[in-house]
Amino acid sequence: MKPELVAPAGDLEHLRIALLFGADAVYVGGAEFSLRARASNFTLDDIAEGVRFAHGLGKKVYAAVNVIPTDDDATGLDMYLAGLAKAGVDAVIASSPVVLDRTLALTDLPVHLSTQQSVASSAAAEFWRSAGAMRIVLARELSLAELRAIRNNTSVGLEVFVHGGMCASYAGRCTISNYLADRDANRGGCAHSCRWKYRLLSDGIPVSDRFDFSLAAKDLEALDYVPALADAGIDALKIEGRMKSANYVAVTSRVYRAVIDDHRKGTLKPWDTYRDELAKAENRPAADGFLGGITSARHQLYEGIPPPRQDFLGHVASIDGSGRARITLRNPVALGDTIEMTPPGAPNSRFAVEGLFDGTGFPLSSARRTGEIVMIPVPQGTVQYAMLRKVN
Amino acid sequence: MRLVTPIRNDAEIDALKAAGADVLVAAVAGFSAAADAVRPAAAFAPLVLAAQAAGLEVYAAFTAPVHEDMLRGLAEAMKTVADAGVAAIVAADSACIRVAQDLGIAGRLIYQPGTFNSNRYDPAFFRSRGLKGVTLSREITLAQIVAIAENNPGIEISLVGHGHLPMFHSRRRFLSDDAEHRGNGVRPADGSRFALEEEKRPGRHFPVVEDESGTTLFRDRMLVSFAELPVLAACLSDFFLLRRFTDDAVFFAAIAAYRDPSRAAAFLAAYGTRCDSGFYHRKTTLAKEDRR
């Protein structure tokens, strides 16, 4: 069985990139009913446009309507769900009974139950299946053995996270952000309080002079579990990160696509081959989460989160008649830099920056400002959405 | 509105009754997460008999997240406590609903996930699945609680309204992991009481407990609901009290003050600096863009 690869998309551009780089489906959210409010700048028109693009490739778009609403938050929900149906999305991802039921009542859309419900057993999966869910995005606290057992005991579709950020708590059950920051994680405001600095006290006495106790989990990276998950009959593998960069979306989609396909063809390469490629995304330190069993110290971040790598320059937005790629700059670039280019569906290549211009065509020797439009001559055959990283 | 209080041993029955409890609750061993009071499923039958003799009811609580290898034992334990005559089974995981439906005891189930039950639709959803009741989310306001309860007359609505409420529960073993990381760190089995202090909140100590189900982090302040009690009493079926991190004397005084509101002022005079009103009057609406 070949599992579906589901990738995050924070905007239309990320949606196109995820699908072009290998995802079978993307999940998107609007600003009002999604848990990634800041990441979710999709209007219904955007979603409709994204759906047209995805369906043109034979791929799918899932709409995250995964807020756990209060009565106030639910205002406008029916109209929004009807809008999603009209936009043509392929499923709604729901956390709350009201979203699940209203989707089923008002539309013909399938409902996927969000990981926010932390479903960790076949009994819970069956409960939600009986309520109408077609697919369950399982809790991130499950081992491979548990996933296999759940698969054997329920017929509902199962989706499993394989990459990206991990909550410290069972998802959906956490109010630390409410209590410490007046921000509500179940309504799109998580302050990531689990990543703040704490120190442990034993009977009121600090164990350390430093605030060095870790609640922060390393990210999940489960490349080498993909074959087993596929063989177990898991229906979909999910990448976390609607707030991540285009490069992250492209690289993770491309690498997990390769592993899924290579496993199916029996042509898997040494894991370092995939990991070397995956390392080109802006990943935080990662481990295998709960897939190998109960986590230990090696799954925790004790030294803080290292700053993100700064080699991603941007992606090719367009190419003009003189062979210059238009790029919205993410990190500094200068004449003479060497760039590695990752195009969708083709091998990486490298070239030197032999010319650099601002958006009006004025020559530059370097550019540093994030968001600045620059033009760089690129090799013939370069395609739109190719990722550009500095490698010198 | 019934006052539901944890019972740690059968010898407390008379004292809890005298303080004003209506219902005694204990978690079921093997299915508890940082619970106040835990006992084996088989130990509920004698508790029910003793409680009934005192005019009290008993609830059995399954507070832990349910994983696949727990399912067989879960069904057996739920059947055991149901056969023992508990008035309700309090469950944190939706797996318990499915198991209760299969056992034909969903009508005794109170779904208490901690969060999730946050709007007026949710109780109706669970009522249609045959449940006895739902416990509302711990992060919604008093006005929201009232609106939900008033719009759901067909199902019992409850609230955890007193004590140090959990802030999160993780499957990770943070204390053990910390000990492993330090090499010479403290161990959760030391018998010590552990707490975390956040860098920018000096002096505020958040209790943390590790057990077989993982790690639970609690609020540093005790939620009290004396001021809100008249409103809550008019719309709730059950009012749950937590007693962890509370001396017995303080806990019994709290029950008495909920039973006899004239005692609330004395309670607050003695312990008020350790208390707050949670989210009753504080809607957490800040967004990501707002400053910490």
Residues A268 and A322 in one domain: no
When CB atoms are compared, the residue of B66, B196, B289 closest to A123 is B66
Cβ–Cβ contact A214 with B under 8 A: yes
Min Cα–Cα distance to chain B from A37, Å: 8
- Closest chain A residue to B207 measured between Cα atoms? A201
| pLDDT tens per residue, range A90-118 | 999 999 999 999 999 999 999 999 999 99
Do the domain assignments include residue A156? yes
CA-to-CA dists, residue B13 to B3, B19, B50, B81, angstroms: 14, 10, 8, 18
| Residues paired with B223 in a beta bridge | B163, B276
Q: If DSSP codes are grouped into helix, strand and coil, which group holds residue A63?
A: strand
Residues A277 and A384 in one domain: no
Other Cβ atoms less than 10 A from the Cβ of B274: the count is 14
When CB atoms are compared, the residue of B115, B170, B197 closest to A175 is B115
The residue-averaged pLDDT of A305-328 equals 90
The phi and psi torsions of A66 (rounded to 5 degrees) equal -100, 15
The verdict on a CB contact (< 8 Å) between A200 and B70 is: no
Q: Given a cut of 50, is residue A212 above it in pLDDT?
A: yes
Q: Which residues in chain A have Cβ-Cβ distances shorter than 8 Å to B182?
A: 207-208
Pairing between strand A111-113 and A135-137? parallel
CA distance B257 to B236: 18
Do the domain assignments include residue A200? no
Q: Residue B192: its pLDDT value, please? A: 75
Residues A267 and A332 in one domain: no
CB–CB of A27/A8 below 8 Å? yes
Q: Residue A284: its pLDDT value, please? A: 87
When CB atoms are compared, the residue of B172, B197, B292 closest to A168 is B172
The verdict on a CB contact (< 8 Å) between B198 and A202 is: no
CA-to-CA dists, residue B21 to A9, A145, A240, B1, B238, angstroms: 52, 44, 46, 11, 11
- Name A196's Cβ contacts closer than 8 Å, sequence gap at least 6: A180, A215, B198, B199, B200
Q: Given a cut of 80, is residue A31 above it in pLDDT?
A: no
When CB atoms are compared, the residue of B115, B192, B197 closest to A173 is B115
pLDDT over 90, % of chain A: 81
Residues A271 and A356 in one domain: no
Sheet holding B166-170, edge to edge: A205-206, A198-202, B194-198, B205-211, B214-218, B166-170
Q: Residue A39: its pLDDT value, please? A: 55
CA-to-CA dists, residue A123 to A63, A155, A283, B71, angstroms: 26, 11, 34, 8
- Name A360's Cβ contacts closer than 8 Å, sequence gap at least 6: none
Question: What is the residue-wise DSSP string for A213-236?
Answer: B--PBPEEE-GGGHHHHHHHT--E
Min Cα–Cα distance to chain B from A167, Å: 9
- Closest chain B residue to A71 measured between Cα atoms? B119
Cβ–Cβ contact A215 with B under 8 A: yes
Residues A113 and A223 in one domain: yes
CA distance A189 to A17: 26
Cβ–Cβ contact A96 with B under 8 A: yes
The verdict on a CB contact (< 8 Å) between A198 and B139 is: no
When CB atoms are compared, the residue of B74, B121, B186 closest to A207 is B186
Q: Which residues in chain A have Cβ-Cβ distances shorter than 8 Å to B147?
A: 71
- Closest chain A residue to B203 measured between Cα atoms? A204
CATH of the domain at A65: 3.20.20.110
Do the domain assignments include residue A205? no
CB–CB of A103/A65 below 8 Å? yes
CA-to-CA dists, residue A378 to A184, A375, A388, angstroms: 46, 9, 10
Residues A228 and A96 in one domain: yes
- Closest chain A residue to B288 measured between Cα atoms? A189
- Closest chain A residue to B184 measured between Cα atoms? A207
pLDDT level of residue A174 (50, 70, 90 thresholds): confident
CB–CB of A297/A341 below 8 Å? no
Sheet holding A357-358, edge to edge: A318-319, A324-328, A373-377, A357-358
| Residues paired with B39 in a beta bridge | B28
pLDDT over 70, % of chain A: 98
The verdict on a CB contact (< 8 Å) between A168 and B168 is: yes
What are the structure tokens assigned to A44, written together? 């219904």
Pairing between strand B166-170 and A157-164? unpaired
| Residues paired with A7 in a beta bridge | A26
Residues A357 and A283 in one domain: no
CB–CB of A162/A239 below 8 Å? yes
Q: Say which residue, A14 or A41, is predicted with more confidence.
A: A14
Task: Quote the mean pLDDT of chain A.
Answer: 93
Q: Which residues in chain A have Cβ-Cβ distances shorter than 8 Å to B121?
A: 74, 96-98, 101
Min Cα–Cα distance to chain B from A292, Å: 13
| pLDDT tens per residue, range B104-129 | 999 999 999 999 999 999 999 999 99
Residue in A224, A257, A265, A261 with CA at minimum distance from that of residue A239? A257
Q: Pick from A236, A258, A290: which residue ends a domain?
A: A290
The verdict on a CB contact (< 8 Å) between B148 and A180 is: no
CA distance B170 to A265: 38
CA distance B104 to A229: 35
Quote the domain boundaries for residue A41. 4-190+219-290
Degrees (nearest 5) of the Cα angle B248, B277, A32? Answer: 135
Residues A233 and A268 in one domain: yes
The phi and psi torsions of A161 (rounded to 5 degrees) equal -70, 135
The phi and psi torsions of B164 (rounded to 5 degrees) equal -85, 100
Min Cα–Cα distance to chain B from A58, Å: 35
Q: In angstroms, how far is the first alpha carbon of chain B from the final one? A: 38
CA distance A21 to A255: 9
Region class of A371: left (phi > 0), else alpha (psi between -120 and 50), else beta: left
Residues A258 and A126 in one domain: yes
pLDDT level of residue A380 (50, 70, 90 thresholds): very high
The verdict on a CB contact (< 8 Å) between B67 and A121 is: yes
The verdict on a CB contact (< 8 Å) between B121 and A188 is: no
Residues A268 and A375 in one domain: no
Most B-contacting residue of A215, A288, A294 (CB-CB within 10 A), to test interface: A215
Residues A246 and A374 in one domain: no
| pLDDT tens per residue, range A70-85 | 888 888 999 999 999 9
Q: Residue B292: its pLDDT value, please? A: 39
The residue-averaged pLDDT of A119-135 equals 98
Most B-contacting residue of A95, A198, A208, A210 (CB-CB within 10 A), to test interface: A198
CA-to-CA dists, residue B173 to A247, A294, A389, B177, angstroms: 34, 8, 39, 6
Other Cβ atoms less than 10 A from the Cβ of B131: the count is 22
CB–CB of B169/B145 below 8 Å? no
Q: Residue B286: its pLDDT value, please? A: 58
pLDDT level of residue A40 (50, 70, 90 thresholds): low
When CB atoms are compared, the residue of B70, B95, B190 closest to A127 is B95
The phi and psi torsions of B106 (rounded to 5 degrees) equal -60, -25
CB–CB of B235/B161 below 8 Å? no
CATH of the domain at A345: 2.40.30.10
- Name A198's Cβ contacts closer than 8 Å, sequence gap at least 6: A211, A213, A214, A215, B196, B197, B198, B199
Question: What is the residue-wise DSSP string for chain B?
Answer: -EEEEE-SSGGGHHHHHHHT-SEEEEEETTS-SS-SSEE-GGGHHHHHHHHHHTT-EEEEEE-SPP-GGGHHHHHHHHHHHHHHT-SEEEESSHHHHHHHHHHT-GGGEEE--SSS--STHHHHHHHTTT-SEEEPPTTS-HHHHHHHHHT-TTSEEEEEEEB--EEEEESS-HHHHHHHHHSS---GGG---EEEEETTSTT-EEEEEEETTEEEEE-SSEE--TTTHHHHHHH-SEEEE--TTS-HHHHHHHHHHHHSGGGHHHHHHHHGGGEE-TTTT----B-TTS--
Residues A142 and A175 in one domain: yes
Q: Which residues in chain B have Cβ-Cβ distances shorter than 8 Å to A174?
A: 115, 167-168
The verdict on a CB contact (< 8 Å) between B115 and A296 is: no
What are the structure tokens assigned to B282, written together? 């504080």
Q: Which residues in chain A have Cβ-Cβ distances shorter than 8 Å to B170?
A: 168-170, 215
Q: Say which residue, A153 or A307, is predicted with more confidence.
A: A153
Other Cβ atoms less than 10 A from the Cβ of A93: the count is 28
When CB atoms are compared, the residue of A74, A122, A203 closest to B193 is A203
Q: Pick from A234, A260, A290: which residue ends a domain?
A: A290
Do the domain assignments include residue A213? no
Do the domain assignments include residue A25? yes
When CB atoms are compared, the residue of A201, A290, A297 closest to B195 is A201
Which residue matches tokens 């920018």?
A: B200
Cβ–Cβ contact A126 with B under 8 A: yes
- In chain A, positions 43-62, which contact chain B (CB-CB < 8 Å)? none
CA distance B157 to B112: 10
Do the domain assignments include residue A207? no
Which residues of chain B carry a pLDDT beneath 50? Answer: 288-292
Handedness of CA A101, A106, A112, A116 (dihedral sign): negative
| Residues paired with A201 in a beta bridge | A206, B195
Do the domain assignments include residue A274? yes
Domain count, chain A: 2
Other Cβ atoms less than 10 A from the Cβ of A359: the count is 12
Q: Residue B71: its pLDDT value, please? A: 97
| pLDDT tens per residue, range A238-270 | 999 988 899 999 999 999 999 999 999 999 999
The phi and psi torsions of A376 (rounded to 5 degrees) equal -130, 130
User: Cα-Cα-Cα-Cα dihedral of A301, A307, A311, A313, to 10°?
Assistant: 120
Do the domain assignments include residue A209? no
Which uninterrupted H or E stretch holds A78? helix A77-87
Handedness of CA B44, B50, B51, B53 (dihedral sign): positive
